Amino acid sequence: GENVEQHPSTLSVQEGDSAVIKCTYSDSASNYFPWYKQELGKGPQLIIDIRSNVGEKKDQRIAVTLNKTAKHFSLHITETQPEDSAVYFCAAHRGNQFYFGTGTSLTVIP
Amino acid sequence: SAVISQKPSRDICQRGTSLTIQCQVDSQVTMMFWYRQQPGQSLTLIATANQGSEATYESGFVIDKFPISRPNLTFSTLTVSNMSPEDSSIYLCSVELSPAFFGQGTRLTVV
């Protein structure tokens, strides 16, 4: 099956700085890679996604990059704000199933 | 997109009892998924629920412990049976419309 690894597990940044979270996957058949943000007491919410035929996607302060050859993808948040503080999960989609990373707890320090 | 309503949002239960979690979707979907998220951990798939057939369980999860119903294309229930403190987790239902959409989760505490 697919194995998704996510790093770092915790990340603290100063407000206004950038944050980068990285994930690797093992199965080259995975073709879709979403990122989720989970705030305390809530379910995961999709923030950005990328398909395997695209190398980069950007949505305002959030971007995702994908390197299919190396089987890794990254989430980039620029100009971080305190409301970006949450747990972020990456995922890889293969077949009809999602495989999730272990999560990154991001703290943005005002 | 999909809007998923899940209830209860939280509950505290006595060990040995059972809790049924409900999940309602605002559109018809073929497959619904149930996940468990233990404290500080990632999401683990419990089972996939298809309408009109028995749920498919992942390794480590069995129907007797986590019976699932899927009576129609917009609704599903997950029951956590004969609960123990180890069952304390967040339980999430999900639908896959590429991406996956999640309910707000049920935070279960077993005492």
Task: With H, G, I as helix, E, B as strand and everything else as coil, classify residue B69.
Answer: strand
pLDDT at A38: 95
Please give the mean pLDDT across all residues of chain A: 94
Radius of gyration for the alpha carbons in chain A, expressed in angstroms and rounded: 13
Distance between B64 CA and the closest CA of chain A, angstroms: 23
Sites in chain A below the pLDDT cut of 70: none
B106 contacts chain A (CB < 8 A)? no
Residue with tokens 């798939």: B45
Residue A3 contacts B where some CB pair is shorter than 8 Å: no
Interface check for B98 against chain A (CB to CB < 8 A): the answer is: yes
Q: Which pLDDT score is estimated for B67? A: 97
Binned average pLDDT, 10 residues per bin, chain B of 111 residues: 92 97 94 92 92 91 96 96 96 88 94 96
pLDDT recorded at residue B108: 96
